[in-house]
Amino acid sequence: MQRRTVLQAALMASIFGSAMARAAASWPTRPVKYLVPFAPGGTTDILARLISTKLSTALGQTFVVENKGGAGGVVGADAVAKSPPDGYTLLGGTISTQAINPALQPKMPYDAAKDFAPITLIGSTPNVVIVPAASPFKSMPDLLAYARANPGKLTHSSAGTGTSQHMSGELLKQLAKVYLVHIPYRGSGPAMQDVLGGQVSMGIDTLVVAAPHIKAGTLRALAVTTAKRARGFESIPTIAESGVAGYDVASWQSVHAPAGTPSEITHLLAAEIAKAMKLPDIQERFAAIGLEPSGIGPEELAAFEAKERAKWLRVVKDGNIKVD
């Protein structure tokens, strides 16, 4: 009886595997949802729309961007994790959904290492400390001096709890020994509006989102969060150069499918995204927003994210950082 059960299970697995293989061979035959786990207007949203347009052209089906924000990206990422592994739902993954929140949140609805099929790393960008053009702070040392003299008087926005912007602020508080009040938003779009309007003292956001406002003169960039200055924005100093030794944070963007998605689909997507990233108009757009392209494949992305999760777990533990 037990042998029959085992044989039946093996037969069902074989039938299911064959069906998935046939489906993968003809994929895609209908529109594909590219879920962004943040509000419109942020880095993940901008890149998803760039990439989805190219994928629609290359693969002959529409890639539809859908925004589902909440909990620093956790709500949207969980929705993808629980979707059918058929290649018709993709996640615009980030450092937040795949590395920081798993380290920060005591109870996660998904396992970042097991519940997703990695596809590719699009690239990374610095975060940048920004203030309204009318702000009295002209430099990062100015702001830090005021923060030390007036603990708790300065507020900083982020795209949400557990995002790279949030953790950039937490690391700044640790290393610069200042107290800043964190104001989380449901994505970069609404956060940026309040920075521009002066509702918060300063913002920390990706250079992708902040670049147009910096170039327009409506925001002043005080420093970038990476160890090196950003390409195309070399006039903006780093936080480390501004007196905070050892400071280095980069925000990165990836693409995932639900775990169990056929490897034929994930590897095809990785190859098509890599091709898209080599197109002159995409390269020009990336350069304009300070994004360093990557394009590594599924296996390399899995290894990269494992290292990132370990890194941020150390930061959270060493700083005793708690969810707001």
Give 16 or 115, the one with higher predicted confidence.
115
Query: Residue 5 pLDDT > 60, yes or no?
Result: no
Q: What is the CATH number of domain 29-124+251-319?
A: 3.40.190.150
Query: Residue 22 pLDDT > 80, yes or no?
Result: no
Q: What is the CATH number of domain 126-224?
A: 3.40.190.10
Mean pLDDT of 314-324: 79
User: Sorting pLDDT into bands at 50, 70 and 90, what band is 132?
Assistant: very high
Hey, which residues does 255 pair with through a beta bridge? 92, 120
Distance CA 7, CA 17 (A): 15
Hey, which residues does 94 pair with through a beta bridge? 253
3-state SS class at 289? coil
Model pLDDT, residue 42: 86
Distance CA 168, CA 162 (A): 10
User: Sorting pLDDT into bands at 50, 70 and 90, what band is 23?
Assistant: low
State the CB neighbour count (10 A cutoff) for residue 164. 29
State the CB neighbour count (10 A cutoff) for residue 287. 13
- Taking only the tens place, the pLDDT of each residue in 245-258 is 999 999 999 999 99
Which residues fall within 8 angstroms of residue 269, CB to CB, at 6 or more apart?
55, 87, 90, 119, 120, 255, 257
Mean pLDDT of 260-264: 98
Domain 29-124+251-319 identical in fold to domain 126-224: yes
- Taking only the tens place, the pLDDT of each residue in 196-255 is 999 999 999 999 899 999 999 999 999 999 999 998 899 999 999 999 999 999 999 999
Which residues fall within 8 angstroms of residue 114, CB to CB, at 6 or more apart?
259
Q: Is the pTM of this model over 0.85?
A: no
- Taking only the tens place, the pLDDT of each residue in 64-110 is 999 999 888 999 999 999 999 999 999 999 999 999 999 998 899 99
Q: Are 266 and 134 in contact (CB under 8 A)?
A: no
Model pLDDT, residue 186: 84
Handedness of CA 237, 241, 242, 246 (dihedral sign): positive
Q: What is the 3-state secondary structure (H, E, C) of the chain?
A: CHHHHHHHHHHHHHHHHHHHHHHHHHCCCCCEEEEECCCCCCHHHHHHHHHHHHHHHHHCCCEEEEECCCHHHHHHHHHHHCCCCCCCEEEEEEHHHHHHHHHHCCCCCCCCCCCEEEEEEEEEEEEEEEEECCCCCCCHHHHHHHHHHCCCCCEEEECCCCCHHHHHHHHHHHHHCCCCEEEECCCHHHHHHHHHCCCCCEEEEEHHHHHHHHHHCCEEEEEECCCCCCCCCCCCCECCCCCCCCCCCEEEEEEEEECCCCHHHHHHHHHHHHHHHCCHHHHHHHHHCCCEECCCCHHHHHHHHHHHHHHHHHHHHHHCCCCC
Q: Where are the domains of the chain?
A: 29-124+251-319, 126-224
